[in-house]
Amino acid sequence: MNSGESESESSNSGSEDKSTIIHKILGEMKSEFNSPRADDAPNTNDEEKPRIILSFKKPASDESPPVGGRRSLRYKNPEEKPELKRSARRRSKDCSESVLQSAIARKEKSYNESNKPQRLTRQLKPTQKILENLALAKMEKSRFFECEESERLVRKHKHKHNKCRRLKRAKLGQGDSEKETDSDEGGCRRPRSENVDEGEELEGAKDTCLCRRRTKFFLATNEETAYCAAVDSIDDKLIGCGRTVATKDLMLLRPSTRVPYTIFCDLHKSRLLRHNCCPTCGIFCTQGRFVQCENKHQYHKDCQSEVDCCPHCGISGISYQVDIVMQLGKKPVFLPVQKAQYITARMTFSTLKTEESKCMTPPLIPIGSFEFDNSFEYGDEVYEMNELIVAVKNNALEKIATILGSKTLDVNSKIPECQDGTILHIAAEKGNVSIVHMLVVAGTQTDVYDKDQNTPLMAAVMAANNETVRYLIKTGADIHLKGTDGMTALHLAAKCGNLHACQLLVDNSPRKAVNCQDDGGWTPLVWACEHGYGDVATFLINKGADPSVRDVEHNVALHWAAFSGSCHIAGLLLDKGCDVNAVNAHGDTPLHIGARQDMYDCNVVLLARGADVTLLNKNNESPLDCVPAGGDTYSVIALNVTLGGAYNSQNVVLCNDITKGRESNPIQCYNSVDNATNPNDFKYVTKNCITSDDVKIEAKITDLQCCQCEERCVTDDCQCGKLSLRCWYDEEGKLIPEFNFGDIPMIFECNDRCQCNAITCNNRVVQKGPNQRFELFKTLDKGWGIRTLRPISRGSFICEYIGEIITDSEADKREDDSFLFDLENRVCKNEDVDSYCIDAKFYGNFARFINHSCNPNLTSVKVFIDHQDLRFPRIAFFANRDISNEEELSFDYGEKFWLAKYKLFSCLCGSLECKYSEDTIGMRT
Ligand X SMILES: C[S@@+](CC[C@H](N)C(=O)[O-])C[C@H]1O[C@@H](n2cnc3c(N)ncnc32)[C@H](O)[C@@H]1O
| Residue number of the CB atom closest to ligand X | 783
Which one, 748 or 849, has the nearer CB to ligand X?
Answer: 849
Q: Is 73 helix (H, G, I), strand (E, B) or coil?
A: coil
Q: Specify the residue, 434 or 671, whose C-beta has the smaller distance to ligand X.
A: 671
Does 728 engage in binding with ligand X (CB under 6 A)? no
Q: Which stretch binds ligand X (CB under 6 A): 340-348, 413-421, 605-613, 778-786?
A: 778-786
Our CB check for ligand X shows the closer of 106 and 814 to be 814
The b/e string for 839-878 (b: 16+ C-beta within 10 A; e otherwise) is bbbbbbbbbbbbbbbbebbbbbbbbbbbbbbbbbbbbbbb
- The count of residues interacting with ligand X (CB under 6 A) is 14
Name the CA dihedral angle for 695, 699, 705, 707, rounded to a multiple of 10 degrees. Answer: 130
To the nearest whole angstrom, how small is the minimum distance from the Cβ of residue 844 to ligand X? Answer: 9
Count other Cβ atoms within 10 Å, centred on residue 922. 10
Nearest distance, CB of residue 545 and ligand X, angstroms: 32
Q: Select from 461, 421, 423 the least CA-distant residue to 439.
A: 423
Q: Of 145 and 877, which has the nearer Cβ to ligand X?
A: 877
What span, in angstroms and rounded, lies between the C-alpha atoms of 78 and 74? 10
Rule CB under 6 A: choose which of 631, 661, 783, 922 binds ligand X: 783
Reduced 3-state DSSP string for 579-610:
CCCCCCCCCCCHHHHHHHCCCHHHHHHHHHCC
CB of 516 to ligand X, least distance (A): 33
Question: What is the pairing mode between strands 167-173 and 298-299?
Answer: unpaired
Under rule CB under 6 A, residue 787 binds ligand X: no
Pairing of strands 225-227, 244-246: antiparallel
Q: Which of 818, 833, 842, 920 binds ligand X (CB under 6 A)?
A: 818
CB of 841 to ligand X, least distance (A): 9
Determine the angle formed by the axes of helices 600-608 and 632-642, rounding to 10 degrees: 20
| Nearest distance in Å: CB 794, ligand X | 22
Among residues 490, 525, 909, 921, the one that binds ligand X under rule CB under 6 A: 909
Nearer to ligand X, 789 or 900 (CB): 900
* Strand positions, DSSP E, 135-174: 167-173
Piece of the chain touching ligand X by CB under 6 A; list 61-69, 711-719, 776-784, 790-798: 776-784
**Those residues with Cβ within 8 angstroms of residue 809's Cβ, 6 or more apart along the chain or in another chain:** 834
Whether the CA torsion 26, 31, 32, 37 is positive or negative: it is positive
Output the DSSP codes for 348-369: --TTS--PPPSS------TTTT
**Residues in 889-908 that interact with ligand X by CB under 6 A:** 905, 907-908
For ligand X, give the closer residue by CB, 864 or 902.
Answer: 902
Smallest gap from residue 335 Cβ to ligand X (A):
59
Q: Are 301 and 289 a contacting pair, CB within 8 Å?
A: yes
Q: Provide the CA 372 distance to its chain's centre, in angstroms.
A: 35
Contacts (CB under 6 A) with ligand X, residues 843-882: 848-849, 851-852
How many angstroms separate the CA atoms of 544 and 493, rounded? 17
Rounded CA-CA distance 287/187 in Å is 25
Residue 859 C-beta: closest distance to ligand X, Å: 16
Which residue, 33 or 849, is less far from ligand X as judged by CB? 849
Minimal distance, residue 916 CB to ligand X, in Å:
8
How many C-beta atoms surround the C-beta of residue 474 within 10 A? 18
Alpha-carbon distance 903 to 815, whole Å? 17
Is the Cβ of residue 748 or residue 819 nearer to ligand X in the bound state? 819
The residue (of 208 and 788) whose beta carbon lies closer to ligand X is: 788
Query: Minimal distance in Å, beta carbon 53 to ligand X?
Result: 13
Q: Which residues contact 573 (CB under 8 A, 6 or more apart)?
A: 529, 537, 541, 547, 556, 557, 558, 561
Query: Closest distance between ligand X and the C-beta of residue 659, in Å?
Result: 16
Note whether 861 and 56 are within 8 A (CB): yes
DSSP assignment letter at 480: T
- H-assigned helices in 452-585: 456-462, 466-475, 489-496, 499-507, 524-530, 534-542, 557-564, 567-575
Are 618 and 592 spatial neighbours (Cβ–Cβ below 8 Å)? Answer: no
Which residue type is seen at 114?
Answer: S
- 257 vs 906, beta carbon nearer ligand X: 906
68 close to 912: Cβ distance less than 8 angstroms: no
Q: Which is nearer to ligand X, 227 or 819 (CB)?
A: 819
Q: Which is nearer to ligand X, 305 or 880 (CB)?
A: 880
Binding mask 595-624 for ligand X (x = CB under 6 A): ------------------------------
CB of 887 to ligand X, least distance (A): 15
Q: Least Å distance between CB 851 and ligand X?
A: 3
8 A C-beta contact, residue 902 and residue 60? no
In this structure, which amino acid lies at residue 871? R
Binding positions for ligand X, 554-573, rule CB under 6 A: none
User: Closest approach of Cβ 599 to ligand X, in Å?
Assistant: 40
Query: Would you count residue 782 as binding ligand X (CB under 6 A)?
Result: yes
Task: Considering the complex, state which of residue 768 and residue 915 has its C-beta at the smaller distance from ligand X.
Answer: 915
Residue-wise DSSP of 616-636: --TTS--HHHHSPTTSHHHHH
Task: Name the segment binding ligand X (CB under 6 A); options: 421-429, 685-693, 697-705, 780-788.
Answer: 780-788
User: Cβ closer to ligand X: 108 or 812?
Assistant: 812
Closer of 135 and 780 to ligand X (Cβ): 780
Cβ(667)–Cβ(775) under 8 Å? yes
Q: Given the rule CB under 6 A, which of 207-215, 699-707, 777-785, 793-801 is the region that contacts ligand X?
A: 777-785
CB of 820 vs ligand X, minimal distance in Å? 9
**Distance between CA atoms of 921 and 924, rounded to whole angstroms?**
5
Site mask for ligand X (CB under 6 A), range 166-185, x = bound: --------------------
340 membership: H or E segment, kind and range:
helix 336-340
The smaller minimum CB distance to ligand X, of residues 631 and 910, is found at 910
Asked if residue 625 lies in contact with residue 730, where contact means CB atoms within 8 angstroms, the answer is no
Among 406-414, 489-497, 664-672, 779-787, the segment contacting ligand X (CB under 6 A): 779-787
Eight-state DSSP code of residue 843:
E
Comparison of 56 and 372: residue with beta carbon closer to ligand X: 56
Smallest gap, in angstroms, from Cβ of residue 686 to ligand X? Answer: 18
Window 61-120: residues binding ligand X (CB under 6 A):
none
Do 123 and 240 contact (CB within 8 A), yes or no?
Answer: yes
Report the nearest approach of ligand X to the CB of residue 805 (Å). Answer: 17
CA dist., res. 404 & res. 558, Å (int): 50
Q: How far is the CB of 908 from ligand X (least distance, A)?
A: 4
Nearer to ligand X, 652 or 908 (CB): 908
Roughly what angle, to the nearest 10 degrees, separates helices 397-406 and 385-393? 160
**822: which strand partners?**
53, 837
Is residue 271 at the binding interface for ligand X, with CB under 6 A as the rule?
A: no
Closest CB 824 distance from ligand X, rounded Å: 17
Question: Percentages helix, strand, coil for the chain, rounded to the nearest 5?
Answer: 30, 15, 55
Is there binding between residue 819 and ligand X (CB under 6 A)? yes
Q: Point out which residues bind ligand X (CB under 6 A).
A: 782-785, 818-819, 848-849, 851-852, 905, 907-909
